[in-house]
Amino acid sequence: MFLNKKILITAGPTYEPIDPVRFIGNRSSGKMGYAIAEVLAEKGAEITLISGPVSIKPIHPNISLIKIETAAQMFDECMLKMDIMDIGIYAAAVADYTPKTFSINKIKKDDEQLFIELTKTKDILKTMGEMKKQKQVLVGFALETYNEEKYAQEKLIRKNLDFIVLNSLKDTGAGFATDTNKITIIDKYNNITKFELKEKRKVAEDIIAYLTKFLDV
């Protein structure tokens, strides 16, 4: 079913630079996105994995890795690749804001307070949703701390997704920097499917099994 399918996957965090040694980032380990990439590659898919800075590496030869650091770099790579993809799976934790200016020198600790002006990054998933072709399948991720299903459903509609994978930081063992995850999948037909806490490899298998419902076979 996935043999020779071209699949774009994003994973990991983005780092938004403040000065040569500091950045705004998050705790994403990339493990979920990498697990999805490995399982799909084993099923014969051709994977383009666009990854922020993480400590893990892809194993399967069907995975083509593109390393980026910033949200702008990830946006540019997605723009280059999305048009030729059958499926887009956007698991990266992309920064919503980036510093408006970058200091070419390390900022010295001279003042009691430091104010950093931020500007919104380009919305990768929304842009991909606007570009989406009829036969392309688009999957997003949402990490929430409250009103989880409400916010995920709004994101699903706003970004023209086929389904969204939701996890909550309220759930022990889910979220960043863990080897496990607990997800809820919400699709464009208003179906809501909840899964138990599992190792991320097993979670990847659940997501991919759900993905088959949206493929033309």
Q: Compute φ and ψ for 210, nearest 5 degrees.
A: -70, -35
User: pLDDT truncated to tens, each residue of the chain (217 aa)?
Assistant: 899 999 999 999 999 999 999 999 999 999 999 999 999 999 999 999 999 999 999 999 999 999 999 999 999 999 999 999 999 999 999 999 999 999 999 999 887 888 999 999 999 999 999 999 999 999 999 998 889 999 999 999 999 999 999 988 778 777 776 889 999 999 999 999 999 999 999 999 999 999 999 997 4
Q: What is the CA radius of gyration of the chain?
A: 18
Please identify every residue annotated as catalytic.
26
Q: How far is CA 194 from CA 6, 29, 138, in A?
A: 28, 23, 20
Please, is 137 exposed, middle or buried when counting C-beta atoms within 10 Å of its C-beta (0-12, 13-18, 19+)? buried
Report the interhelical angle of 31-42 vs 200-211 (nearest 10°).
60
Cβ atoms of residues 155 and 140 within 8 Å: yes
Question: Rounded to whole angstroms, how far apart are CA atoms 34 and 57?
Answer: 8
> How many CB atoms are located within 10 Å of the residue 161 CB?
27
Domain ranges of the chain: 6-100+117-214
Which residues, in sequence order, are CB contacts of 147 under 8 Å at separation 6+? none
Cβ atoms of residues 191 and 153 within 8 Å: no
Question: Rounded to whole angstroms, how far apart are CA atoms 182 and 159?
Answer: 23
Considering the domain 6-100+117-214, what is its CATH architecture?
Answer: 3-Layer(aba) Sandwich (3.40)
Q: Compute φ and ψ for 213, nearest 5 degrees.
A: -65, -20
Cβ atoms of residues 71 and 16 within 8 Å: yes
